Structure 1
Amino acid sequence: MSTSNNPSSAGQSLDDAINAVKGGLTAAPAANQIDSWIGMLDLNGPGSQGEISLELKNLKDYISTNDSANIAHTLDALGQLATRAADEDVDEEIRTKLLQLGETLTGASTSLPK
Structure 2
Amino acid sequence: MSTSNNPSSAGQSLDDAITAVKGGLTAAPAANQIDSWIGMLDLNGPGSQGEISLELKNLKDYISTNDSANIAHTLDALGQLATRAADEDVDEEIRTKLLQLGETLTGASTSLLK
Q: TM-score, normalised by structure 1?
A: 0.95
Match of 1:52 in 2: 52
Alignment length (residue pairs) = 114
Q: 1:80 to 1:22 in 2, by over 3 A?
A: same
- Alpha-carbon distance between aligned partners in 1 of 2:12 and 2:41, rounded to the nearest angstrom: 15
- Alpha-carbon distance between aligned partners in 2 of 1:101 and 1:36, rounded to the nearest angstrom: 17
Match of 2:32 in 1: 32
Q: Shift of residue 28 of structure 1?
A: 6.4
- Alpha-carbon distance between aligned partners in 2 of 1:113 and 1:53, rounded to the nearest angstrom: 23
1:15-52 CA distance string (max 9 Å, x none): 00000011135536521110010000011110000000
Q: Percent identity?
A: 98
Is the 1:80–1:102 Cα contact (8 Å) retained in structure 2?
Answer: yes
1:88-111 CA distance string (max 9 Å, x none): 000000000000000000000011
Q: TM-score, normalised by structure 2?
A: 0.95
Q: Which runs of 5+ in 1 are unaligned?
A: none
Is the 1:26–1:63 Cα contact (8 Å) retained in structure 2?
Answer: no
- Alpha-carbon distance between aligned partners in 2 of 1:78 and 1:28, rounded to the nearest angstrom: 15
Q: Which runs of 5+ in 2 are unaligned?
A: none
- Alpha-carbon distance between aligned partners in 2 of 1:98 and 1:29, rounded to the nearest angstrom: 18
Q: 1:91 to 1:35 in 2, by over 3 A?
A: same
What secondary structure does 1:42 align onto?
A: coil
- Alpha-carbon distance between aligned partners in 2 of 1:78 and 1:66, rounded to the nearest angstrom: 18
Q: 1:101 to 1:29 in 2, by over 3 A?
A: closer
Q: 1:81 to 1:29 in 2, by over 3 A?
A: closer
